[in-house]
Amino acid sequence: MKKILIIDDEVNTALLLSKFLTRNGFEVTTASSGSNGMEQLKNSEYNLVLCDYRLEDTDGREMLKYIKNNYPKTGVIIITGYSDIKMAVELIKMGAYDYITKPLYPDEILTTINKAIETHYALLEAADQEASATSAAVSNTKAGGSSKDKGKQVMSNEFVSGNSRASKELLRQIELVAPTNYSVIIMGESGTGKESVAKSIHLNSSRRDQPFIAMDCGSLTKELAQSEFFGHEKGSFTGALYTKIGHFEMANGGTLFLDEVGNLSYDIQAALLRTVQERKVKRIGSTKEIDLDVRLIVATNENLQDSIQKGRFREDLYHRFNEFSIYMPALRERGHDIILLAEHFLRSANQELGRNVSRLSPEVVECFMNYRWQGNIRELKNVIRRATLLSEGDEIQMKALPLEMLAYSRMPMDGPTNSATFVGMHQEQSSAPAPVKEVRHDLKNAALEAEYETILKVLREVNFNKTKAAEILKIDRKTLYNKMKAINLGK
């Protein structure tokens, strides 16, 4: 019997819907709030969640994020009023199966639910088959150990192990710390895969069936940080139109991952320290304290010891986090793992784009092995996706690589890179008649290209530290994030 969870704070609507679905052969549970719905999801597995968009303590967007992050095998349908249809369509793009508008009609509800369950199961089956194939391919590259031993580990879908000494040491540290409740600091350059390691630690811990909540501290403004961490009550400040559940509360029982923790302001660090010490959280505008059982994993691309010396990071908070530390090797330190990762991303890109590109040319392999990879695994993934789209045959060739890589492959190892070199390399590699020269006549595109090169140059100079880059570029960090996303340099 298929299990459905209804999350709706209108008790009569939830009751009528529950009775109707029970008569039609479903096992139904109801929840009158977002927090109650989270508790129900922790206690039982559901095939489908029907969630009202407007709840007293949260909204459909937050619930959808929570369910997709922590219960990906559960489908979601949003219940909405007519005025919320635009938002509901946006939520479908975020992963909801469909939306149902009020007033509710029995035939429409039943048809939508049956289709949702049928479609969701078909997608899950296809995803499981792909995951099994990828897992088998990656496992074959690991040195030593029996297949039985390897099967005991559960890794994040984004995590790909390798044969290099650095990769094996990383895997050993994950195996050591995962079963404990230690707080962990993951240190390394941007793009090295810190979040995938955090997920792998969570999946191999006793909390694996509880929520894993990721929070990007780098994009938080000082004004929003407390609300995002601790939540707030409706009406607690101007603009608080509904009660919001904070990330600590959402992660209760599971793992909270804080990325770029070195970017938090000093006063937010103080509030965070109190929460970590007391294991209690209180929403803004509330007098009620909520007990916490949360494992903390934090990540940084900065030297926190240096930040402590400069008075930018609290030493007491650092020691709360630093019960165990993991160093993430840069991609250039991982040797032939670069090609292993490239082949993994090539398989993923083929599936995403419906292509059949099977290999890298020898010249591309050599280029990849010699390139500096300042953006690390994230940069490699973007390069492969782009090259897969541009490749005409079954092989990725040099002409499909970005201009900066073509320039780098032709210059001395410590030589400069400039836009003139980019143009020359592009013209030499392409059989088309000087397309870059034509683009130069388009002022808008020329400006965008110059902006791209400037941002990339500054990011490399500061080792992809976005706070420092924003200071040098004389823009705020949020603007930098938006520009990076627009030119495909973001997460």
Q: In whole angstroms, how far apart are CA 185 and each of 144, 257, 367, 483?
A: 28, 10, 33, 28
* Angstrom distance (rounded) from CA 160 to CA 190: 17
Task: Write down the pLDDT at residue 360.
Answer: 95
Residues sharing a CB contact under 8 Å with residue 362, sequence separation 6 or more, in sequence order? none
What does the longest C-alpha to C-alpha distance in the chain come to? 74
* Angstrom distance (rounded) from CA 34 to CA 36: 5
Task: Write down the pLDDT at residue 486.
Answer: 63
> Which amino acid does the sequence have at 301?
N
- DSSP conformation letters of 291-351: E---EEEEEESS-HHHHHHTTSS-HHHHHHHTTEEEEPPPGGGSTTHHHHHHHHHHHHHHH
* Angstrom distance (rounded) from CA 346 to CA 352: 10
Residues sharing a CB contact under 8 Å with residue 137, sequence separation 6 or more, in sequence order? 344, 347
Task: Write down the pLDDT at residue 326.
Answer: 95
| Per-residue pLDDT in tens (0 to 9) along the chain, 491 residues | 789 999 998 888 888 899 999 988 899 999 999 999 999 999 999 999 999 988 888 888 889 989 988 988 898 998 887 555 567 667 777 888 877 877 787 877 888 888 888 766 665 555 555 455 444 444 554 444 444 344 456 665 566 778 888 889 999 999 999 999 999 999 999 999 999 999 999 999 999 888 899 998 887 877 788 888 998 888 888 877 778 888 999 899 999 999 999 999 988 999 999 999 999 999 999 999 999 999 999 999 999 999 999 999 999 999 999 999 999 999 999 988 999 999 999 998 998 889 999 999 999 999 999 999 989 999 999 999 999 999 999 999 999 998 888 877 665 444 443 333 333 333 343 333 433 333 444 565 566 667 777 888 887 777 777 788 888 888 887 778 777 766 656 54
- The single-letter DSSP state of residue 32 is S
* Angstrom distance (rounded) from CA 58 to CA 243: 6
Task: Write down the pLDDT at residue 183.
Answer: 96
Task: Write down the pLDDT at residue 314.
Answer: 94
Give the orientation angle of helix 443-461 with respect to helix 477-486, to 10 degrees: 120
Whole-number CA gyration radius for the chain:
25
Alpha-carbon torsion 179, 185, 186, 190, what sign? Answer: positive
Task: Write down the pLDDT at residue 439.
Answer: 40
> Which amino acid does the sequence have at 336?
H
Question: Which residue's structure tokens are 């955090």?
Answer: 198
User: How is residue 332 written in tokens?
Assistant: 């250039």
- The single-letter DSSP state of residue 83 is G
Name the β-bridge partners of 186.
Answer: 299, 326
* DSSP H/E element including 100: strand 98-101
Q: What counts of helices (H) and strands (E) characterise the chain?
A: 22, 16
Closest among 172, 162, 233 to 201, alpha carbons compared: 172
Task: Write down the pLDDT at residue 80.
Answer: 82
Other residues' Cβ atoms within 10 Å of the Cβ of residue 490: 15
Question: Which residue's structure tokens are 């501290």?
Answer: 217
- The single-letter DSSP state of residue 413 is T
- The single-letter DSSP state of residue 54 is B
pTM: 0.60
User: How is residue 59 written in tokens?
Assistant: 């909204």
Task: Write down the pLDDT at residue 429.
Answer: 39
Question: Which residue's structure tokens are 């993430």?
Answer: 328
**What secondary structure, in 3-state letters, does 276-305 show?**
HHHCEECCECCCCCEECCCEEEEEECCCHH
* Angstrom distance (rounded) from CA 440 to CA 448: 11
464: left (phi over 0), alpha (psi -120 to 50) or beta: left
